[in-house]
Chains A and B, each alone.
Chain A
Amino acid sequence: MTHQFPALSEAQKRELHETALRIVSPGKGILAADESVGSMAKRLAQVGVENTEENRRQFRQILFSADDRINSCIGGVIFFHETLYQHSDNGVPFVKMIRDRGILVGVKVDKGVVPLAGTCGETTTQGLDGLAERCAQYKKDGAVFAKWRCVLKISDSNPSKLAITENANVLARCSSICQQNGIVPVIEPEILPDGDHDLKRCQYVTEKVLAAVYKAMSDHHVYLEGSLLKPNMVTPGHSCPTKYSPEEVAMASVTAMRRTVPPAVPGICFLSGGQSEEEASVHLNAINNCPLAKPWVLTFSFGRALQASALRAWRGHKENEKTATEQFVKRAEVNSLACQGKYSGGDNYGEAGHRIFGSCHAY
């Protein structure tokens, strides 16, 4: 316990810390475009598009060919492995397109959830095997950060002590390995919004989960200044009869973070979960206006909440591409304002208010 065997040199720490800071620069957040092939099936099915590699490429191209307006809103893009090696119509690698505009490239590195035997439907996440080698290769191929998602559920019996400690441990192992390879880990301990629990219960569980996560990070000697957190906002369950204002959601979220996330963590990039585009932006804005001391950046790492309108505008038709891209740019700009607490909200253009929810999903 007593001697340090430094995991990282000063130069390695500086690189990781600077990368993390760049991703969450003021006004910027993350575009989570890392849907797996299986998850893309669900997205594309909803708009009547076949889930082919080409269609997946075309949709990501719609996002990545957005104009300079997104350069001040998007600090990083999370890629799925397949997408990292795809090109635009003009033969430009997607990675290069993104990097050349000063946006950092990230990659999803986990290999999905697997069951925890003996629990009530709980999971851990696999993907540690050969992770060091994979990270080293991704670094060569242009990635500077990675994302790993764990999933927890609230129910009468969940999350169990095992699920909490096991998922915290695997997040910490992932982080440690990433940092050894110059990759900033974005750790995602997602507590699903499924259920009828109220806001308070979600806050309680979030606090317990995050306390375990940061204890594991400490035990595994992870350099917090070179990491980012991607948590759920604290919200009531989807079937909760009580409605809460954005301010209540914000207060609960910020309080939970204040009780568990050390100030050394440069940024907290909330996931959007089942929230609609507008809901997610309004909540993020309220979070940034919450009158409690918030020593980390509080921004977004949104998937659906940045892409839903774009997807619906596209519907797989080439002639809709520009319109679709425009929808994405608009959400990027809105969230850029929201992460500075400057979004005045209620801009119900397009499909932004449409509720997005797929029950008990795992992607």
Chain B
Amino acid sequence: TMTHQYPALTAEQKKELQEIAQRIVAPGKGILAADESTGSMAKRLNPIGVENTEENRRRYRQLLFTADERIDSCIGGVIFFHETLYQKSDDGVCFAKLIKDRGIVVGIKVDKGVVPLAGTNGETTTQGLDGLSERCAQYKKDGADFAKWRCVLKISETTPSQLAILENANVLARYASICQQNGIVPIVEPEILPDGDHDLKRCQYVTEKVLAAVYKALSDHHVYLEGTLLKPNMVTPGHSCPTKFSSEEIAMATVTALRRTVPPAVTGVTFLSGGQSEEEASVNLNSINTCPLNKPWALTFSYGRALQASALNAWKGDLNKEKAGTEEFIKRAQANGLAALGKYKSSGRAGAAGQSLYVANHAY
């Protein structure tokens, strides 16, 4: 029945979840998404000529996790892949402990990848619910306090379909519910890919529809919003869109979409970087934070490539280049820490993203 509440969480459980969420997105902080699966790591390591071995993956994550105290004020949480959660530094210290001991919250990717939705035009849902409760309980014992689950939607003539939107929203809500039962803050990631030639307006429209469905599902599944985070795409034109848009236009479209769909109770919005370059991702995040509309949630980053690309390039697997790699990572962490406060001054390269159609304070 619709009318009686069977409380999913006690007041203590809620308090713990909300406090974890708030710590992750504390002012000036965001998330390092270091949860690339083994398959994804191949795509990162091969281009720099590094073999995709467990040891190389360990050495690479060590390069990130041994960054000095400069990252403590920029990184609120790190998302781990399962393998990495149980790896150790050269000194034999568990990576999870290394991160947790410096006051950074440990997170874990818990989904098991996308699977096809039959009868659709190449659309997917995400699997990983089986035994998720037991896995969350174990991860919590092993030091994790938050989790991430990624769903994927595409924009085309026929997509996203009603089924894709509903099914992905539902599975995100199930995942969120299970996490919270185990003291784990769920980061909900309904990524709408930037592939395609659609314009900014279209991405905004689709993002609004997707997020409205996500929050209805979260309500239906009795998820405690204050103890969650959202990891959405920024609203951007498709990669092959001929029109260029300024970062202010991207920011206005993004903030407008969120204002129309994300309840204020959600503690924070941690954007994914998608295909954006490191600089683009920082400049856009900065514009989002300086957008002159009321924004009642933290607006920060959960970046993978946009925090690591330069680090990877500086390292290239070379033992002697580890410090250089770490330094590149620290630079991007600091840049994004500033962007999350609306205080980032670009070094200039991202200015390419459009002079043509800048319209001040315009929302679709």
Residues of A whose CB lies within 8 Å of any CB of B are: 1-4, 154-161, 164, 200-201, 204-205, 207-208, 211-212, 214-215, 218-219, 224, 255, 257-264, 293-295
Q: Select B155's contact among A2, A155, A205, A208, beta carbons within 8 Å.
A: A2
Residues of B whose CB lies within 8 Å of any CB of A are: 1-5, 155-162, 165, 201-202, 205-206, 208-209, 212-213, 215-216, 219-220, 225, 256, 259-265, 294-296
Q: Least Cβ distance of B77 to chain A in Å?
A: 22
Flag if B158 contacts A263 (CB, 8 Å): no
**A-B pair number, CB within 8 angstroms:** 99
Flag if B157 contacts A208 (CB, 8 Å): no
**B157 partner residues in chain A, CB cutoff 8 A:** 2
Flag if B294 contacts A218 (CB, 8 Å): no
**B264 partner residues in chain A, CB cutoff 8 A:** 257-258, 261, 263, 293-295
Main secondary structure of the interface of B (DSSP, over half): loop
Flag if A200 contacts B263 (CB, 8 Å): no
Q: Given the interface contacts A4-B202, A264-B256, does A218 sit within 8 Å of B261 by beta carbon? A: yes
5 examples of A-B residue contacts, CB within 8 angstroms: A1-B162, A157-B1, A201-B4, A205-B3, A264-B260
Question: Please, which residue of chain B has its CB at the minimum distance from the CB of A219?
Answer: B212
Flag if B219 contacts A211 (CB, 8 Å): yes
**B208 partner residues in chain A, CB cutoff 8 A:** 218
Q: Given the interface contacts A208-B219, A293-B296, does A261 sit within 8 Å of B4 by beta carbon? A: no
**A257 partner residues in chain B, CB cutoff 8 A:** 264
Q: Select A204's contact among B5, B160, B261, beta carbons within 8 Å.
A: B5
Flag if A2 contacts B215 (CB, 8 Å): no
Question: Please, which residue of chain A has its CB at the minimum distance from the CB of B219?
Answer: A211
Distance between Cα atoms of A294 and B294 in the complex (Å): 10
Distance between Cα atoms of A299 and B296 in the complex (Å): 19
Question: Please, which residue of chain B has its CB at the minimum distance from the CB of A165?
Answer: B2
**B161 partner residues in chain A, CB cutoff 8 A:** 1-2
Flag if A214 contacts B206 (CB, 8 Å): no
Distance between Cα atoms of A156 and B215 in the complex (Å): 26
Q: Least Cβ distance of B358 to chain A in Å?
A: 16
Distance between Cα atoms of A295 and B216 in the complex (Å): 20
Q: Given the interface contacts A154-B3, A211-B215, A214-B212, does A2 sit within 8 Å of B156 by beta carbon? A: yes
Flag if B265 contacts A159 (CB, 8 Å): no
Q: Select B159's contact among A2, A212, A224, A260, beta carbons within 8 Å.
A: A2
| 3 closest cross-chain pairs (CB), A and B | A218-B212, A211-B219, A204-B5
Flag if B263 contacts A261 (CB, 8 Å): yes
**B220 partner residues in chain A, CB cutoff 8 A:** 211
**B3 partner residues in chain A, CB cutoff 8 A:** 154-160, 201, 205
Q: Select B202's contact among A3, A155, A218, A262, beta carbons within 8 Å.
A: A3
Distance between Cα atoms of A204 and B5 in the complex (Å): 7
**A294 partner residues in chain B, CB cutoff 8 A:** 264
Question: Please, which residue of chain B has its CB at the minimum distance from the CB of A218?
Answer: B212
Distance between Cα atoms of A207 and B220 in the complex (Å): 10
Q: Least Cβ distance of A165 to chain B in Å?
A: 10
Distance between Cα atoms of A155 and B213 in the complex (Å): 28
**B259 partner residues in chain A, CB cutoff 8 A:** 262-264
Distance between Cα atoms of A102 and B261 in the complex (Å): 32
**A2 partner residues in chain B, CB cutoff 8 A:** 155-161, 202, 206
Q: Least Cβ distance of A207 to chain B in Å?
A: 7
Flag if B256 contacts A260 (CB, 8 Å): no
Question: Please, which residue of chain B has its CB at the minimum distance from the CB of A222?
Answer: B260
Q: Least Cβ distance of A194 to chain B in Å?
A: 13
Q: Least Cβ distance of A126 to chain B in Å?
A: 22
Flag if B265 contacts A4 (CB, 8 Å): no
Flag if B294 contacts A295 (CB, 8 Å): yes
Q: Least Cβ distance of A136 to chain B in Å?
A: 26
